[in-house]
Amino acid sequence: MNRPSLLRGLSATAGVGALSPFLRPAKSAAQTRRTLTLGLTSRSANEWTIFVADKAGFFAANGLQVDQIVVGSSAACAQQLTAGSIDIGSVSSTQVVEAVLGGAPIVEILNEMTIAPYSILARKGMTAFAQLKGKTMIVGGPNDITRIFADKVIAGNGLRPDDVTYTFAGATSDRYAALLSGSVDAAILLPPFSFRAAGDGYPVVAEVQKYVQHFPFGGLAARIDWAKSHSDYVVAFDKSCLQAVQWLSDPSKKNRAVDILVEGTNTRREDALGSYDLLVSRLHVYSRDGRFSDDDFRQVLEALVGSKQVSLPTPLPSRFYDNRYADQAFKGIRAPR
């Protein structure tokens, strides 16, 4: 990506000598911003910090123009990263393992969420998860992280994985639409869509965080070679997102944060308020330092071994993440006042 030359405009004063810094034409914000393309799985509370970094001005303050596109699934983000169609993408921890083991040259560069705030909502009239035996549930994909979470909830309720028939849609908005259409009996949803469905009378029959505790499920990834050659972009991006977490965690910003989520997800304000109370005030799901750890990824690898997607011996956890960018970004953030 071409940056504006610092020498632009010197030809007009050739022969006069070096220009004083005070006489050089000032560059506009548009000229100095570095542009990158960000792929999102969908527009849900999973990406709230992205929305805040954009609307509260952190991307701009750190010299970035971030063009957001909705790709539709974590797997699709991994594929587009590998192809070079996007620069940074929302790729779940399980998906990055699958992609890397399949030969994709990508790596997680920022830990977004440390707790999985999914809910499983069922067809109207159901009152308990056990009633889903013999029914259909929609998850993200056959190897998606939502499938792993759903399997854990199924086991926690005394059922077997084959007691439920799975169908698939990568984005939580698409799974919400399937539930509303009546084409499935249950759906695993993220806020604010889980709140919207509950408000429309669909019963919550399970909260995933009761069955899966601390689990690094939401991450942002990049191609390894692109991240190395654009390390300033990656650090600026990570810094913007971590500043957004601090901003989002400030109770005085609650109303503005809710407005941003309403705009970002096209949802009702009451659903966004419920999302704030759950994700920010109660569960504190957003990572404040953006770091992954070997212990984090051991949980991911163990889950994938249990679902027969990864074989023993498991690879080194550090193969799937690079904390250097988040660490550098975090050092440059002032503590919130």
pLDDT of residue 2: 41
Sheet holding 64-70, edge to edge: 64-70, 34-40, 88-90, 214-223, 106-115
Query: For residue 8, is pLDDT > 50?
Result: no
**Distance (Å) of CA 40 to CA 52, 97, 232:** 14, 18, 21
Q: Which two tokens stand for residue 328?
A: 């550098």
DSSP string covering 100-147: HHTT--EEEEEEEEEE---EEEE-TT--SGGGGTT-EEEES-TTSHHH
DSSP string covering 202-242: --EEEEGGGTS-EEEEEEEEEEHHHHHHTHHHHHHHHHHHH
pLDDT of residue 218: 82
| Of 11, 47, 1, 73, nearest in space to 232 by CA | 1
Q: What CA dihedral angle connects 187, 193, 194 and 199, to 10 degrees? A: -120
Per-residue pLDDT reduced to its tens digit, 139-194: 998 888 899 999 999 999 999 989 999 999 978 999 999 999 999 999 999 999 99
Per-residue pLDDT reduced to its tens digit, 97-139: 999 999 999 999 999 998 889 999 999 999 999 999 999 999 9
Under a CB-based contact definition with an 8 Å cutoff, are residues 46 and 171 in contact? no
Omega before 25 within 30 of 0, i.e. cis: no
pLDDT of residue 252: 97
CB neighbourhood size of 22 (10 A):
5
Residue with tokens 């993200």: 140
Higher pLDDT, 60 or 218: 60
Query: For residue 33, is pLDDT > 90?
Result: no
pLDDT band for 306, please (50, 70, 90 cuts): confident
Domains plus CATH for the chain? 31-116+215-331 (3.40.190.10), 126-211 (3.40.190.10)
Q: What is the DSSP letter of 279?
A: I
Share of the chain above pLDDT 90, in %: 78
Under a CB-based contact definition with an 8 Å cutoff, are residues 43 and 265 in contact? yes
Per-residue pLDDT reduced to its tens digit, 227-249: 999 999 999 999 999 999 999 99
112 φ, ψ (degrees, to nearest 5)? -90, -50
Average pLDDT, rounded, for the chain: 88
